[in-house]
Amino acid sequence: MIYADKKNHRPGRPSKERAGYSETREILLRAGMEVLTEKGFSSAGIDEILRRVGVPKGSFYHFFGSKESFGAELIGLYSAYFANKLDRFLLDITLPPLQRIRAFTDYARSGMAHHNYKRGCLAGNLGQEMGALPESFREQLKAVFQDWQSRFAACLEEAKEVGDISADADCQQLAATFWIGWEGAILRAKLEGSPYPLDLYADFFLSGLPR
């Protein structure tokens, strides 16, 4: 549980050395990330997030214009954080390309286990919710998947160069397919409370790649 010491949230202008940085703001983003990866956007209450970290509402609306813009910022943070994680695996030249993909899915697997299969993918959560979300999220979420897909496709291109997948494979398309199904696997892993869906899908995807 993340929460800040009471004395970190007291009124008044912050001291000068902390200019441009606010711990409270970061705490709110952190807590928001936790809640939104678990419950999505619509079901997540500002009040709940605030209670969790002992920050009063005034602070929230000081730092963020609205719940919507808070969500947009979270999507941006999550996207970047995750892209980074992806690169760490998919660009790992100590492994052959397809094993990097496996390393990534294993990592995700253990991440879900670590949170008891309660937290999913923020982008997947909000994507599913689009029917009830501000339309402004749609393009942002599409761009997130496009970004991840490109990184994934680059790894598949390497696999192609190495000859691990067939020379006429459409890597962008395969990468798109991976994410389409992978989000489904996360969804089911959350529902079942088990890594099995992740394993099943990762195995199927990797063994289904054109040779």
Instruction: Look at the block and give the residue holding tokens 């980074």.
Output: 84
x-marked contacts with DNA along 52-91 as a string, rule CB under 7 A: ---xxxxxxxxx-xxxx-----------------------
Q: How many residues does the chain have?
A: 211
Which residues, numbered 148-207, are part of the site for a second copy (CB under 8 A)?
A: 173-174, 176-177, 179-185, 187-188, 190-192, 197, 200-201, 204-205, 207
Q: Is 68 in the site for a second copy (CB under 8 A)?
A: no
Q: What would the two tokens of residue 154 be?
A: 């680059």
Task: Compare residues 24 and 153 and give the one whose CB is closer to a second copy.
Answer: 153
CA–CA distances in Å: residue 96 to residues 46, 93, 101, 145, 171 = 44, 7, 9, 24, 16
Task: Compare residues 109 and 190 and give the one whose CB is closer to a second copy.
Answer: 190
Task: Compare residues 67 and 190 and give the one whose CB is closer to a second copy.
Answer: 190
Supply the DSSP string of 8-72, one letter for each residue.
GS-SSPPPGGGTT--HHHHHHHHHHHHHHHHHTTTT--HHHHHHHHT--HHHHHHH-S-HHHHHH
Instruction: Give the one residue of 14, 65, 111, 208 binding a second copy; rule: CB under 8 A.
Output: 208
Running DSSP on this structure, what letter comes out for residue 120? -
**Please, which contacts does 134-141 make with residues 24 or more away whose CB atoms are closer than 8 Å?**
134/68, 134/71, 136/68, 136/72, 137/41, 137/71, 137/72, 137/75, 140/72, 140/75, 140/76, 141/75
Nearest distance in Å: CB 144, a second copy: 10
Which residues, numbered 9-28, are part of the site for DNA (CB under 7 A)?
A: 9-18, 22, 24
Q: Say if residue 113 is exposed, middle or buried (CB neighbours under 10 Å; 0-12, 13-18, 19+).
A: middle
Which residues, numbered 176-205, are part of the site for DNA (CB under 7 A)?
A: none
Nearest distance in Å: CB 163, a second copy: 20
Nearest distance in Å: CB 164, a second copy: 16
Choose the contact partner of 58 out of DNA, a second copy, none; CB within 5 to 8 A by kind: DNA
Instruction: Give the one residue of 30, 38, 46, 95 binding DNA; rule: CB under 7 A.
Output: 46
Cα 170 from chain centroid (whole Å): 25
Which spans of this chain sit near a second copy (rule: CB under 8 A)?
38-40, 42-44, 118-120, 124-125, 127-132, 138, 141-142, 145, 173-174, 176-177, 179-185, 187-188, 190-192, 197, 200-201, 204-205, 207-208
